[in-house]
Amino acid sequence: MNALSKLINKNKENKIICVGLDTDIDKIPSHLLNTTNPVLEFNRAIIDATKDSVAAYKINFAFYECNGAEGFNNLKSTIDLIPKDILIIADAKRGDIGNTSDMYAKSVFNYFNCDSVTVNPYLGEDSVKPFLNYQNKLIFVLALTSNPGSADFEKLKLENGKFLFQSVIEAVNKWNTNSNCGLVFGATQFDELNKNINSFKNLPVLLPGVGAQGGSLEDVVITFKAHNRSNFLINVSRSVIYKSHGIDFAFAAKEEVEKMNNIIYKILNQ
């Protein structure tokens, strides 16, 4: 099953939540620190508790790479825990000259066996193409991100009157010849989402920023429904995986996802 099919199948079940496994050993419940591998045990519990309720998992590579060889082993082992019908997104934000991007793509897709990756488009098409050559994968290209610093460059106005992020969206639509492109668009950028959603055309959208960053789940879902749009993911990380710091942390994460799913279901089916 290719990556886009995994997303479509889950969206048909009204599942659009993507749980971010941004696991920080300094934030996980203290009782896990007595286990052989606290990070992996935390991830295993979160995945087991939420796997029936989510559309995808997004694994932020930085939280694993910082721990060297042990971190890479935990990254690979975490990926192996995720059921095969659930989309796995490598949140690596790769972007470099072509031959380097080719190696990054081989790492993400051939070694770690992820279904999808986030990429930075600001070196141009040749930096993204090595990822796009994997026709069965899904490449989420940064358009307008959820952080305050997005205004520094992404919202710069060009000579043609368009914002830089709008030119990125246009380019990604052109690159989507294999139907394997998507966009990253911050849920915190709600006004821009409303104004630009029609320009997304058929591109799947990954929306970070709901929860700890302040984006509104309800507003995003209502907007996508109003525009008759499907094939999107709302990413939540800290507000789910750290919902509780007690022995009930996995159950608390499950309850939080199910709470969001109930909100989503009511909006999509009213």
Query: What residues are annotated to the active site?
Result: 93
Q: What are phi and psi of 143, to 5 degrees?
A: -110, -70
Go through the chain and tell me how many residues it has: 270
Q: What are phi and psi of 103, to 5 degrees?
A: -70, -40
How many other C-beta atoms can be found within 10 angstroms of the C-beta atom of residue 23? 24
Calculate the dihedral angle through the C-alpha atoms of 81, 87, 93, 99, rounding to the nearest 10 degrees. 90
Torsion sign over Cα 28, 32, 34, 36: negative
CA distance 110 to 36: 28
Asked if 36 contacts 93 with a C-beta cutoff of 8 angstroms, the reply is no
- The amino acid occupying position 211 is G
> For residue 107, what are the contacts with CB-CB under 8 A and spacing of at least 6?
none
